[in-house]
Structure 1
Amino acid sequence: MPETPGLGEQALNKAAEVGLTSQLDEVENLDIDIKTDPLKLVQGQVDSVKIDGEGMVMQKDLRVESMQMQVNNVAINPLSVAFGKIELTKPTVGTARVVLTEVDINRAFNSEFVISKIQSQKIHINGQLKTVKPQQIDFRLPGEEKVAINADILLVENNETQKVAFTAVPRVSANGTSVVLENVTYGNEQEISPELTQALVEQTSEILNLSNFDLEGMSLRVKRLQVETGKLTLQAEAYVEKIPSDNN
């Protein structure tokens, strides 16, 4: 007969689920599994916390295909449980895995937030300062551990559309907080402006910056990046100071 989760576990699962959901713009599926037993709970001990989310839409219109996080041996304030809260008495470190698809990164690139950031910059093109307005940015994950970007950029002053196309290799930054693009290579398109390319490179890093995926009281540090056709997988260390609950 399958073991039914104790009342304490059920209450904690529900509190964490409500707390996490409140931080997301959207979520398709969220499953939280907190393992403990009443005796340990009274002593403030939780064996493990597992979070499994799908279709999570974070800030800045960034959708995550899936996120799994696990922390073990969590110390909590036993009194907080009575109030439906999960109050950690000390920070804990766990593991996380985040999957982003090409479609989701494209959506972020073409969001108002990103477009307005790029067009707020004046960029040197052929020696002249121009106001740039992205018309369409096409971000692809073609395989071979590369990303490819094709963009149509309107130069506002002379109403002329320029194409920018390049591939690059994503790498985890030294401090593990973001993904940087290296080995930028141009296709057949002529490079119209190193500054414009740099702006797009920086914007890619910003979209893939791990602080975008932080939830309140939880931050991630990337250990490994896997680039496949159509998707990016980030293996990370999760630093947890707080587990959001329904009345945090």
Structure 2
Amino acid sequence: MECSLVNSFMFGGFVGFNNNQGGDWGENLLNKVATNTIRHLFTHSEFVEVAVRCNPSSKLLQGTIDSFKMSGRGLVIRKDFRTEEMSFETDAVSLDFGSVMQGKIALKQPTQAVAQVKLTETDLNQAFQAELVKKRLENLSAPALTEISGGEVVSFTDVELQLLPNNQVKLLAKANWSDRSVPVSLYCTLAVAKRRRIKFNDIKFEAQDIPDDVRDISQQLTDTLGSILNEMVDLDRFDLDGVKVRLNRLETKGKVLLFSGYAQIEKVPTR
């Protein structure tokens, strides 16, 4: 936050903090600082807005806030992971008001926030192209795979995920090694495990998508891919410094996947 932002509020702020416009000044300053701070957590954002609730507004001087509410759209995390929409609302927050005057937000004590996230089918398929995901699907040498491939490393590529009703998904991919490529196809049900992992449950091989001459080997590869997917999505790998995210539920709705959960915020991350 540039110093000019703080300076622009200084003279009209503390002088009139106790009049009818004082609350607006304090909340506006905090909204701007919080919005700027949160926007910079993302590689890219189409829209980010923060609203502060504080009644009476004089509590701001003591650093006490009833809640923060953030809403965002088109947020990209770590360059490759896009979310269509994200929102959260905190419990009461205790912060160092002096840090706000410096264009920063420093918490005096941890707080919690209720969070909701919406991912589109396109967002999910783009995530499978991220380097962080691809490195967990390529050049694999697990015994179950090398037995199929004759000792060659195996890579799963061209992943295409389709969202279906009742938390179900269909997933297509190709298993490649040496000069061979075998299609794989599965249905499964998405679920939350231990509030931090996404599980691909009840995996079923979809034989009708696979040519007859490779169905047996495709089924073996599908079972192995399912095991890999079940070890891949762990929210602890995506936690921001000072923020721990946990999920309560997920739901497929049309071509979007909805998550609801909460975040334990020890400090406001700087990215």
The verdict on a shared fold, with TM-score over 0.5 as the criterion, is yes
Match of 1:53 in 2: 72
Contact 1:225 1:234 in 2 (8 A): yes
Match of 1:14 in 2: 32
Deviation at 1:49, TM superposition (A): 0.3
Q: Which has the higher helix share?
A: 2
Is structure 2 residue 119 aligned with structure 1 residue 97?
no
Deviation at 1:213, TM superposition (A): 5.2
Task: State the identity %.
Answer: 26
Deviation at 1:166, TM superposition (A): 0.5
Match of 1:83 in 2: 102
Q: CA RMSD in A?
A: 2.5
Q: Mapping of 1:97-116 within 5 angstroms?
A: 97-116=116-135
Deviation at 1:191, TM superposition (A): 5.1
TM normalised by structure 2 equals: 0.79
Larger radius of gyration: 2
TM normalised by structure 1 equals: 0.86
CA change 1:86–1:45 in 2 (3 A) is same
Is structure 2 residue 197 aligned with structure 1 residue 178?
yes
Q: Which has the higher strand share?
A: 1
CA change 1:117–1:145 in 2 (3 A) is closer
Match of 2:252 in 1: 227
Classify the secondary structure of the residue corresponding to 1:198: helix
Match of 1:241 in 2: 266
Contact 1:164 1:191 in 2 (8 A): no
Contact 1:64 1:100 in 2 (8 A): yes
Contact 1:181 1:205 in 2 (8 A): no
Contact 2:146 2:154 in 1 (8 A): no
Number of positions where the alignment pairs a residue of Structure 1 with one of Structure 2: 240
**Alignment partners' CA distance in 2, 1:115 and 1:45:** 44
Match of 1:202 in 2: 228
Higher relative contact order, structure no. (Cα contacts within 8 Å, ≥ 6 residues apart): 1
Unaligned runs of 5+ in 2: 1-20
Deviation at 1:75, TM superposition (A): 1.0
Contact 1:167 1:185 in 2 (8 A): yes
Deviation at 1:169, TM superposition (A): 0.8
Q: Which moved more, 1:183-192 or 1:26-35?
A: 183-192
Classify the secondary structure of the residue corresponding to 1:119: coil
Contact 1:169 1:181 in 2 (8 A): yes
CA change 1:153–1:43 in 2 (3 A) is same
Contact 1:172 1:180 in 2 (8 A): yes
Deviation at 1:124, TM superposition (A): 2.8
Match of 2:46 in 1: 28
Deviation at 1:97, TM superposition (A): 0.4
Match of 1:74 in 2: 93
